[in-house]
């Protein structure tokens, strides 16, 4: 959802080494603040001596009934972080897992990612970045509870141990954590603790059902869309059909005739545009009011993107030198005995989460409270303060569970939240203020949001008589995700690394890369696995093509090119071995396809089984080999892979592209923007390579290799190299 290199650069941008940053975070209380519930007080006390940072409900609450509540410093939007992070604390705390609960933390400095330096969810970083942070919190709390018990019993703490939320001492003494928190909260936080030897783990690594599974399966889970406040009004915004447009004139007379209608007024929208907010006493009245609104839009001076023309222009650019992103000696290209020249086309993609965007605001004099499924809590809270004219400490941003996001809720401009603040300000100025929820419809989400950029790749590859790559000249054309944002400073010599991340990796070959970043009037944003959504497809289908050209088995060819990359080879071997590739006889009309890709420092390999039925591609089975180092919760990893498989299948289906005509997005709902559905889901088996190394990311790595593995299988069935997404078996 964010580029994989972003977290590290966030630290470097501040001139801090990772070690220095973590020490600074500890001094400020970040990641080391322990909160304990004081019986009968209804408040939180911090177990810290010198200059404690007071944050209500910091990371850990232990109630008198022994319930352990872990505050999760991320957004939960289906990826399982509300279970994975508590597992880390519970492991080192020796908590009774049946008594562990979790809550989403509000936006506060203490909850900032210890590596990124901001509170955020993205880049497959939650478990990876907080693995040590959350374990240390659990271990320090455990040490304090042992000390409290030892002092009560007048024994040496070394004579005590913990088990299932109990401290056990000599002479059969025992005390529950809940009975000790009052005393433990008064103790200093130990500077150093010894973490468990992995051989002692009883929670980490165990397949663990999600803590929020019951609430979600029963309909009790509260998402942002479910937030209800007394007297709350609902707003919908009529946004310009072309990005950056403004109303030329509008008439709300018919809208105001709708029962429940409250008011209508202009508000700023993205890219310098303006929209018209319709405020009502409920969603249906707001929607009817917006439908009845009469408006003429001024879009005369705006660039109006046409997808067909854009593709033509991009292909022309792909044939020209651009900004140099990677240098290599390609002098042998022209004289190579064999050549491959390939152009690839990838369309704009909408994020299309199941829960459309929404934001609830309670704006008062001197205070503003926001409820949102934010992926960028730090950025969004600062945006609320800026737009509302309040101080940061006057803003409360409550993180609410979201029904998906895939990067759409991590926007540098905080677009949907800023828009809600503008509506709340206008409503307050009209004298009709109070709590307000701004809701985006599905149509709003698809027609007026941000998109994965459309991209064209052009590759010229020279190969010798034995199939060895002599030279690879590559050009990529696509909008920059970073240009015009606070992250633009991370572009090197004008090159946005998100466009080409993972291209050609990890294969050793002379690869020269140029890029073009056209300026288009279409807002673009990271989308699950970012650049790897297309670079993996290009790389892995070309590697397959090279293997075919060399007359080699595609698995053996990959093994040879990967060299000594042990994690790559282990993931590939896991998928191959468990699929039966090369040994099992497939049904007539079925074929194998293989692909592997590293993203967010995790490897996922797929061996797929596909066919063509009634002229259409059909994916039957997917066998995954996953190397993400230590698996904290294998069940969550399996779920991530399964979800990524289905999402990736969706990009291959006809109708899954977002297109524009005269600057207007042509798709508006799931009726004309295809997403994968239950009949499209193949049988999936996931095989995790055992490892004792620190975890790497898993939110996104399952996506990139699926489509190329599928395309490689279809080549064996049709003899056609599929150079664009979605699939079209009629293409040349």
In a domain, 480, yes or no: yes
Q: Which long-range contacts (CB under 8 A, 24 or more apart) does 546-552 make?
A: 546/340, 546/461, 546/463, 546/467, 546/469, 547/467, 548/715, 549/338, 549/340, 549/463, 549/467, 550/463, 550/466, 550/467, 550/468, 551/467, 552/467
User: Which residue, of 185, 218, 251, is where some domain finishes?
Assistant: 218
User: Do 233 and 323 sit in the same domain of this protein?
Assistant: no
User: Do 22 and 108 sit in the same domain of this protein?
Assistant: yes
User: Do 592 and 547 sit in the same domain of this protein?
Assistant: yes
Q: Which residues of the chain have pLDDT under 70?
A: 1-57, 732
Coil, strand or helix: which one is 199?
helix
User: Which residue, of 189, 218, 247, is where some domain finishes?
Assistant: 218
User: Do 427 and 521 sit in the same domain of this protein?
Assistant: no
Q: What is the pLDDT of residue 30?
A: 33
> Residue 272: how many CB atoms within 10 A of its CB?
11
User: Do 201 and 230 sit in the same domain of this protein?
Assistant: no
User: Do 198 and 229 sit in the same domain of this protein?
Assistant: no
User: Do 578 and 703 sit in the same domain of this protein?
Assistant: yes
pLDDT tens by residue, 409-460: 999 999 999 999 999 999 999 999 999 999 999 999 999 889 999 999 999 9
Q: What is the pLDDT of residue 20?
A: 31
Pairing mode, if any, of strands 274-280 and 261-268? antiparallel
In whole angstroms, give the CA distance from residue 590 to residue 601: 32
Total domains in the chain come to: 3
In a domain, 64, yes or no: yes
User: Do 614 and 701 sit in the same domain of this protein?
Assistant: yes
Angular region, 710: left φ>0, alpha ψ -120 to 50, beta rest: alpha
In a domain, 200, yes or no: yes
Would you state the structure tokens that stand for residue 134, as one six-digit string? 């959350």
In whole angstroms, give the CA distance from residue 73 to residue 50: 24
List 362's β-bridge partners, or say none. 369
Q: What is the pLDDT of residue 731?
A: 76
User: Which residue, of 192, 218, 244, is where some domain finishes?
Assistant: 218
In a domain, 371, yes or no: no
On whether the pTM is more than 0.75, the answer is yes
In a domain, 88, yes or no: yes
In a domain, 445, yes or no: no
In a domain, 383, yes or no: no
User: Do 336 and 272 sit in the same domain of this protein?
Assistant: no
User: Do 343 and 484 sit in the same domain of this protein?
Assistant: yes
Coil, strand or helix: which one is 574?
helix
Domain that holds residue 587: 319-348+451-718
Q: What is the CATH number of the domain that holds 211?
A: 3.30.365.10
Q: What is the pLDDT of residue 473?
A: 98
Q: What is the CATH number of the domain that holds 275?
A: 3.90.1170.50
In a domain, 355, yes or no: no
User: Do 240 and 200 sit in the same domain of this protein?
Assistant: no
Q: What is the pLDDT of residue 325?
A: 98
In whole angstroms, give the CA distance from residue 450 to residue 497: 19
DSSP letter string over 102-128? EEE--S-GGGS-TTTSS----TT-HHH
With both helix axes pointing from N to C terminus, report the angle between 706-718 and 532-549 in degrees, rounded to the nearest 10: 40
> What proportions of the chain, in percent to the nearest 5, are helix, strand and coil?
35, 25, 45
Q: What is the pLDDT of residue 1?
A: 67
User: Do 292 and 323 sit in the same domain of this protein?
Assistant: no
With both helix axes pointing from N to C terminus, report the angle between 6-13 and 18-28 in degrees, rounded to the nearest 10: 80
pLDDT tens by residue, 297-306: 999 999 999 9
399's enclosing H/E stretch is: strand 395-399
């Amino acid at each position: 959802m964010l580029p994989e290199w972003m977290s590290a650069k966030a630290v470097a941008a501040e001139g801090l080494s990772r070690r220095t940053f973590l020490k600074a975070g500890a001094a400020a209380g970040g990641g080391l603040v322990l909160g304990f519930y004081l019986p009968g007080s209804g408040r939180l006390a911090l177990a810290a001596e010198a200059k404690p940072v007071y944050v209500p409900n910091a990371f850990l609450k232990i109630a008198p009934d022994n319930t352990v509540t872990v505050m999760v410093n991320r957004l939960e939007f289906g990826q399982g972080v509300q279970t994975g992070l508590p597992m880390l604390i519970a492991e080192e705390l020796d908590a009774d897992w049946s008594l562990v609960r979790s809550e989403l933390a509000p936006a506060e400095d203490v909850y900032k990612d210890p590596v990124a330096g901001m509170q955020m969810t993205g880049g497959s970083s939650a478990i990876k970045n907080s693995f040590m942070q959350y374990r240390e919190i659990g271990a320090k709390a455990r040490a304090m509870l042992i000390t409290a018990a030892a002092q009560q019993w007048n024994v040496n703490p070394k004579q005590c141990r913990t088990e299932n939320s109990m401290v056990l001492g000599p002479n059969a003494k025992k005390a529950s954590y809940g009975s000790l928190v009052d005393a433990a909260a008064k103790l200093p936080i130990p500077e150093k603790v010894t973490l468990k030897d992995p051989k002692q783990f009883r929670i980490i690594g165990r397949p663990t059902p999600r803590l929020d599974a019951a609430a979600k399966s029963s309909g009790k889970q509260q998402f942002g869309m479910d937030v209800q406040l007394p007297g709350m009004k609902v707003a919908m915004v009529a946004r310009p059909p072309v990005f950056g447009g403004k109303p030329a004139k509008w008439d709300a007379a018919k809208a105001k005739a709708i029962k429940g209608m409250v008011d209508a007024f202009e508000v700023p929208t993205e890219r310098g545009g303006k929209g018209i907010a319709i405020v009502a006493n409920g969603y249906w009245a707001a929607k009817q009011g917006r439908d009845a609104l009469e408006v003429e839009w001024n879009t005369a001076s705006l660039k109006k993107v046409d997808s067909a023309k854009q593709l033509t222009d991009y292909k022309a650019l792909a044939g020209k030198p651009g900004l140099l992103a990677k240098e290599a000696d390609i002098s042998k290209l022209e004289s190579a005995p064999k050549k491959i020249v390939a152009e690839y086309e990838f369309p704009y993609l909408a994020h299309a989460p199941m829960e459309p965007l929404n934001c609830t605001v309670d704006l008062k004099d001197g205070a503003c409270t926001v409820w949102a499924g934010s992926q960028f809590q730090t950025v969004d809270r600062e945006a609320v303060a800026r737009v509302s004219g309040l101080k940061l400490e006057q803003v409360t941003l409550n993180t609410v569970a979201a029904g998906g996001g895939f990067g759409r809720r991590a926007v540098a401009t905080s677009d949907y939240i800023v828009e809600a603040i503008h509506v709340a300000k206008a409503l307050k100025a009209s004298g009709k203020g109070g709590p307000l929820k701004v809701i985006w419809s599905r149509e709003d989400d698809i027609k007026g949001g941000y998109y994965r950029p459309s991209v064209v790749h052009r590759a010229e590859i020279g190969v010798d008589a034995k199939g060895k790559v002599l030279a690879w000249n590559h050009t990529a054309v696509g909008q920059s995700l970073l240009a015009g944002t606070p992250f633009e400073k991370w572009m090197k010599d004008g090159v946005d690394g998100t466009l080409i991340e993972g291209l050609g990796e990890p294969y050793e070959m002379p690869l020269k890369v140029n890029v073009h970043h056209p300026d288009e009037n279409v807002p673009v944003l990271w989308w699950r696995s970012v650049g790897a959504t297309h670079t993996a497809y290009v790389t892995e289908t070309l590697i397959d093509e090279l293997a075919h050209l060399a007359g080699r088995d595609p698995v053996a060819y990959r093994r040879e090119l990967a060299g000594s990359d042990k994690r790559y080879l282990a993931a590939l071997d896991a998928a191959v071995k468990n699929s039966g590739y090369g040994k099992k006889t497939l049904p007539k009309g079925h074929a194998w396809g293989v692909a592997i890709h590293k993203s967010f420092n995790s490897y996922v390999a797929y061996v797929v089984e596909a066919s063509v039925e009634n002229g259409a591609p059909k994916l039957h089975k997917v066998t995954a080999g996953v190397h993400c180092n230590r698996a904290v919760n294998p069940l969550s990893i399996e779920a991530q892979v399964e979800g990524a498989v289905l999402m990736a299948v969706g990009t291959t289906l006809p109708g899954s592209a977002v297109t524009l005509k005269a600057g207007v997005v042509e798709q508006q709902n799931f009726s004309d923007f295809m997403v994968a559905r239950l009949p499209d889901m193949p049988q999936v088996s996931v095989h995790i390579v055992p490892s004792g190394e620190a975890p790497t990311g898993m939110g996104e790595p399952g996506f990139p290799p699926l489509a190329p593995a599928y395309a490689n299988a279809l080549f064996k069935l049709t003899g056609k190299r599929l150079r664009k997404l979605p699939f079209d078996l009629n293409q040349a």
